[in-house]
Amino acid sequence: MKTLIALIALAAMSVPASWGAEGGSLPRHVDVYKETGRFGGWPANHGIWSWGNEILVGFSRGYYKDLGPDRHNIDREKPEEHWLARSLDGGETWTLEHPAEKGMLIPQGTSLHGTEAPGQEIKPAVDCPGGIDFTHPDFALTARMSSLESEPSRFYYSTDRGKNWSGPFKLPLFGQKGIAARTDYEVFGPQECMLFLTSSKTNGKEGRPFCARTVNGGKTWDFVSWIAPEPTGYSIMPTTVRLSADGLLTAVRHREGDHSWLDAFVSEDRGKTWSFLNKPVEDTGEGNPASMIKLKDGRLCITYGYRAAPFSMRARISSDEGKTWGDEIILRDDGAGRDIGYPRTVQREDGKIVTIYYFQDRQQPERYIAATIWEAPAP
């Protein structure tokens, strides 16, 4: 553990050559979690939460194994653990937390990306009794999935900024063959919250995005609507922002054949109906989910990984609620391969943006969790 802590908050100061003066000050890259012989991955599957300059992000911690350039280099025969990283200074430095050590956040059975440490108690998912106050100032919710169709997706919540968690609580199948829950939600009131999830398609394959709602503090969840038509390939992993009291904008990861991109859909009636808006990003290489936030100045920011050469982390800004998007901003382009991305993004108090993702660079083979601290170009 001493070695692990010593590796936190080391700066990796590579800067893409394409970064220009219009991009503001140069982005800085900070190591959130990096450990020899280990694999850090997929923040988008876990979630991110922030309270001022306090940031909490989840990620997977496994064991590194060289499986070749076309696969995730994680040893599937060894346990994968679900960890949290916390920063109290806007992403400059980080400390690590393992909720399983307190008997929390243990997945039921086998998760999509492996298992927790053997010998630890597996907490079964149960029905939620309700009573959650989604507007609590220190609230956080994480939604997780299982690779087994017989096991429901689940959620946990915290009212002390992720130090302690209640759950796991079952999510229904909503009449579908399977649900892949990842963390994307919007709070509408003390008892009302919407989740944005991915369902299996009618043929049982992934996937099609939809939204669900609770109006009784998490006791029950009801299907609201499909966000996008059922694709031939897949349309998965929504990321959502609130545009107005009832307005929502969601970006989803779409793939057809060898082509991958991001689609945006808009709803003006709190998710009852959706319409296609545009493609914020027309090419994401092999495909990568996005993270979308509303900036303090009202603009929208979308961040994503580009899984093709040059392997990179990128962003775009919209000044008109997603109707049009500015030029790509290259946050970094020093990736050594396709196994990168899955970002989560927040904005800190001074206006700087913190984007967290997993990455593979040319210095070592292990994948690790990194944060890029950057400024959006002026409007």
Number of other residues whose CB lies within 10 A of the CB of residue 378:
8
Q: Which of 76, 75, 148 is nearest to 109 (CA)?
A: 148
Digit-by-digit pLDDT tens for the chain (379 residues) are 434 433 433 333 344 444 443 445 789 999 999 999 999 999 999 999 999 999 999 999 999 999 888 888 899 888 888 899 999 999 999 999 988 765 554 443 333 333 444 445 557 889 999 999 999 999 999 999 875 555 679 999 999 999 999 999 999 999 999 999 999 999 999 999 999 999 999 999 989 999 999 999 999 999 999 999 999 999 999 999 999 999 999 999 999 999 999 999 999 999 999 999 999 999 999 999 999 999 999 999 999 999 999 999 999 999 999 999 999 999 999 999 999 999 999 999 999 999 999 999 999 999 999 999 999 999 9
C-alpha span between 360 and 363 (Å, rounded):
9
- What is the three-class DSSP state of 34? coil
Sheet holding 154-158, edge to edge: 140-144, 154-158, 166-170
Phi-psi region of 2 (alpha: psi -120 to 50; beta: other; left: phi over 0): alpha
Q: Which of 84, 145, 111 is nearest to 356 (CA)?
A: 84
C-alpha span between 246 and 248 (Å, rounded):
7
- What is the three-class DSSP state of 102? helix
> What pLDDT, on a 0 to 100 scale, did the predictor assign at position 69?
82
Query: How many helices, marked H, and strands, marked E, lie in the chain?
Result: 1, 25
- What structural domains does the chain harbor? 2-374 (2.120.10.10)
Q: Which of 375, 370, 236 is nearest to 299 (CA)?
A: 375
> What pLDDT, on a 0 to 100 scale, did the predictor assign at position 264?
98
| pTM attached to this predicted model | 0.90
> Which DSSP category does 149 fall into?
T
> What pLDDT, on a 0 to 100 scale, did the predictor assign at position 260?
98
* Long-range Cβ contacts of 325-329 (<8 Å, 24+ apart): 325/278, 325/280, 325/281, 326/377, 328/281, 329/19, 329/23, 329/374, 329/376, 329/377
Q: Which residues pair with 40 in a beta bridge?
A: 61
Regarding beta strands 312-318 and 185-187, do their DSSP bridges make them parallel or antiparallel, or are they unpaired?
A: unpaired
Angle at 290 between CA 289 and CA 296, to 5 degrees: 165
CB-facing half-sphere around the CA of 176: CA atoms within 13 A: 32
Q: Which of 259, 260, 209 is nearest to 235 (CA)?
A: 209
